[in-house]
Amino acid sequence: MARWFVQSSFPLVLLQSGVAIGVLAIVSFTPPENGTMLIVSMVGESPHEIRNWAIERHALPLGPGPVPRSLLVVGARSALAAAALDHRAMLLAGRGGTCG
């Protein structure tokens, strides 16, 4: 009977582990409300082009990001979110693994 329980609960444990890992990944890449963020263009804008619209939203550019077509900035997520959507860019947390 114990063997049946172990075999039937394994998929559930695997699913729960996957959900936990997914949540941790999402949380680690979510940009902060205020602070360092990585802006990554999904349509090929250069860091210079990203810098122009980020400055209009009162962000402070720190320099090119670690991936092509990206820029590291300090700013407010609420100010940058709409512009990022308009320019088809992603806002990511600019700490830890994202900005080596």
The pLDDT score that the predictor gives to residue 53 is 96
What is the pLDDT confidence band of residue 7, given thresholds at 50, 70 and 90? low
Q: Say if residues 80 and 37 touch (Cβ distance below 8 Å).
A: yes
Share of the chain above pLDDT 70, in %: 83
Q: Measured on CA atoms in the order 41, 73, 47, 94, is the torsion positive or negative?
A: negative
Helix axes 77-86, 47-56, angle to 10 degrees: 130
Running DSSP on this structure, what letter comes out for residue 16?
H
CATH for 31-98, options being 3.40.1350, 3.30.70, 1.10.10, 3.30.160:
3.30.70
Quote the pTM value. 0.72
Cα gap 84→3, rounded to integer Å: 52
Domain boundaries, the chain: 1-29, 31-98
Q: Say if residues 92 and 100 touch (Cβ distance below 8 Å).
A: no
